[in-house]
């Protein structure tokens, strides 16, 4: 994906892509050309179809594809009639073309299929990504946001799925994101503070300014495992066994990182959390990381840990 534009890894299976520069360049390259609907062969355009307005019979997949095509044609007609070549709407469409190519490249090289959302900011892109899964992409123009937000629960919006979203809904006695538009900026800032109130005022109108940040390399690489209840380790041999399992996994991750990022780890850190009798304790110890070899890592980790064995350092029990 990073071949196409700046990316920000958000989770193990999610990424934000800043297509601003790439979309502007694509618009420049296509100056004077019309976008063909077949170039957007897996794209839905939210707000530009009649889905759900009339009852239809037939194969659901066929009807869904007809709905998708009709929406793309309606969107392209809207562009032709209302938007100049340099408009944000044309840039969104260019972004959708790029994402079609990006998703095809991902599938060709990895075998994985993915969905995507194309919109003006991270909040709208994440929201639209989930509208037409699987293996489809959704373009969400700003003109479609009010209709979508009028029936969208507040908790479905990025950063409003937790306590803040609950607080907004309860304090203002509302349920849907679109209902926020009824409140003036001064009232939102009085209730939730200047910064958060201003953010809510903009967000309910589809406006957000958080940038896509180029992914930074992690400062540490690790692996861990919990041993709960009957799985609790009770002998030194069990501790050694699992340290080796974790060290083997760690060796693989470290080796892959060294190959990809041309860097080497310098320190080994071992952390343990113990829970019981209504309380928990945590300790951590470090030593030099001399080599990427699982058995060596496991031996060093056990040396760091064995002093905490209350059965005694030479006992078989842990």
pLDDT tens digits for 260-288?
889 999 999 999 988 776 677 888 999 99
Q: Which residue has the tokens 């694509």?
A: 26
Which residues are the active-site residues? 14
- Which whole number is the average pLDDT over 125-143? 96
pLDDT in the model for residue 197:
96
H or E stretch at 172 = helix 163-172
- Which whole number is the average pLDDT over 117-142? 96
Per-residue pLDDT for 226 more than 90? Answer: yes
CA distances to 141, 185, 264 from 163, rounded to whole Å, are: 29, 21, 40
Which carries the bigger pLDDT value, residue 2 or residue 91?
91
Sorted by where each starts, the structural domains of the chain and their CATH numbers stand as: 6-145 (3.30.70.270), 150-215 (1.10.150.20), 229-308 (3.30.1490.100)
- Which whole number is the average pLDDT over 12-38? 93
* pTM of this prediction exceeds 0.75: no
CA distances to 125, 269, 280 from 121, rounded to whole Å, are: 6, 39, 42
Residue pair 113/64 in contact by the 8 Å Cβ criterion: no
Which carries the bigger pLDDT value, residue 13 or residue 277?
13
Report the mean per-residue pLDDT for the chain. 92
The pLDDT confidence band at residue 56, using thresholds 50, 70 and 90, is low
The pLDDT confidence band at residue 214, using thresholds 50, 70 and 90, is confident
Catalogue the E-assigned strands of the chain. Answer: 6-11, 14-18, 43-45, 116-118, 137-139, 267-276, 279-288
- Which whole number is the average pLDDT over 49-78? 83
Give me the count of residues in the chain.
318
């Amino acid at each position: 994906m990073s071949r196409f534009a700046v990316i920000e890894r958000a989770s193990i299976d999610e990424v934000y892509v800043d297509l601003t520069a790439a979309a502007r360049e694509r618009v420049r390259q296509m100056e004077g050309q019309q976008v063909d609907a077949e170039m957007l062969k897996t794209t839905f355009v939210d707000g530009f179809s009649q889905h759900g307005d009339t009852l239809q019979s037939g194969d659901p997949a066929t009807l869904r594809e007809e709905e998708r095509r009709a929406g793309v044609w309606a969107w392209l007609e809207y562009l032709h009639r209302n938007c100049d070549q340099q408009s944000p709407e044309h840039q969104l469409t260019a972004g959708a073309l790029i994402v079609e190519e990006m998703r095809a490249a991902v599938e060709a090289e990895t075998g994985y299929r993915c969905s995507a959302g194309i919109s003006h900011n991270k909040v709208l892109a994440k929201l639209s990504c989930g509208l037409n899964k699987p293996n489809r992409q959704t373009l969400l123009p700003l003109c479609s946001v009010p209709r979508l937000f009028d029936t969208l629960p507040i908790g479905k919006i990025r950063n409003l799925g937790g306590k803040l979203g609950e607080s907004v809904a309860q304090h203002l006695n509302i349920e849907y994101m679109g209902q926020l538009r009824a409140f003036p900026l001064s009232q939102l800032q009085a209730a939730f503070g200047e910064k958060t109130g201003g953010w809510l005022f903009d967000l309910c109108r589809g406006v957000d300014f958080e940038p896509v940040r180029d992914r930074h390399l992690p400062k540490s690489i690790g692996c861990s495992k919990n041993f709960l209840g009957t799985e609790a380790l009770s002998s030194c041999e069990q501790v050694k066994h699992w340290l080796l399992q974790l060290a083997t996994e760690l060796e693989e991750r470290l080796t892959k990182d060294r190959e990809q990022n041309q860097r080497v780890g310098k320190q080994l850190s071992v952390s343990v959390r113990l829970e019981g009798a209504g309380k928990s304790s945590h300790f951590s110890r470090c030593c030099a990381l001399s080599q990427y070899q699982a058995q060596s890592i496991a031996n060093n980790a056990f040396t760091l840990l064995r002093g905490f064995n209350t059965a005694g350092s030479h006992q078989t029990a842990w």
